[in-house]
Amino acid sequence: MKKKTVRDIAPEGKRVLVRVDFNVPMVPGSGEISDDSRIRASLPTIKYLLDRRAKVILSSHLGRPDGKIVEEMRLAPVARRLSELLGRPVRTASDSIGPEAEKAVSAMNEGDVLLLENLRFHPEEEKNDAEFARALAGLADLYVNDAFGTAHRAHASTTGVTRYLPAVAGFLMEKELEFLGRALSEPARPFASIVGGAKVGDKMKLLENILKKVDCLLIGGGMCSTFLKALSYEVGKSTVEEDKLEFARGLIDKSKRTGVKLVLPSDLVVADRFDREAAARTVSVADIPKSWYVMDIGPQTVKDFAAELRKCRTVVWNGPMGVFEFNKFRSGTESIARELADLNATTIIGGGSTAQAVEELGLAERMSHVSTGGGASLEFLEGKTLPGVAALNDKD
């Protein structure tokens, strides 16, 4: 079901509560933002509302304060950065509901921007408390959800407020739903998915759902050890999810029955210990030493994956190909990212650590879409209904 967007409302002169995802990474102890991409992603919606003389009231969480006030998780640094990006003042409120928030909203003029304090300073936010939601909704006339990264949570600011206000999607939310939705429902073919990350258990539902959609499935990352073990390969000291071996065998069998090409690594980079300074070498999957760890996909696997990807018109990637946080073992992830950046295809990066890797490599602008939602994009690709999306007003 298509959802209404900011284009379907008349925000002129209205108080518009916008749920944004300003849960940005901070440099420990400095109060400085280390990556402002989530703030920048919200700019089109904010500017659209400001151009129409709305009073823009922004709400977000930052970190996990567990319902308590944590000074290091106040949103003042975010307001400063947003002000720089907008080129206009961004005021802050000392609370997200109550007298202080109401006073700050009542002082707003058309075209003003106000950032409420961290929603999760109140335990009622994550509990989707009705009174908290009503108080938050009471600050505004309209509600816009532009926080795809929190759309998989049924919180007061994502679903509760929609019971009291007309609720529509912002441009970022619309873009996320459009790219991810089209990939699952009507992708340009051939369609491939690259799935990585540490554990099969974290991606079981994704693998089950995506196998029904794709023409080719490429599996890397730490999870490939469980798949290789399922095929009776020696994987050394690498983590094997013994309780997922049957699932892995079943997925391999199902790919054969349904004609989906499932590609596992042919070679790997292994290390003598799980450490950034470990001794490393590249081996065939048939020659993994018993006391070594699988750390990354190897160069031949990169070539194998690239050969498949170059045939494709749609690619969805979720999960790094190795221990990307260790420089010595980031080559597989970097090579796949560069391969995708050069493709003449729709390339969708599924949020979380994959998005972080693409951002760090400076390749985000060369992808069709980099999702801002880690958990949300994963659940969407699993085929789940996201509460924060379902709560928005339908087009029809």
Tell me which residues are annotated as active site: 38, 199, 352, 375
Which helix (H) or strand (E) segment is 96 a member of?
Answer: none
Residue with tokens 């959802």: 3
> Which tokens hold the place of 331?
């080559």
- What are the start-end ranges of the H helices in the chain? 37-41, 43-51, 76-86, 99-106, 123-126, 130-137, 171-185, 204-211, 224-230, 245-258, 299-309, 331-341, 352-360, 374-381, 387-390
Contact 329, 296 (CB under 8 A): yes
Q: In whole angstroms, what is the distance from residue 120 CA to residue 271 CA?
A: 41
Pairing of strands 113-115, 91-92: parallel
Contact 338, 360 (CB under 8 A): no
Torsions phi, psi of 216, nearest 5?
A: -145, 135
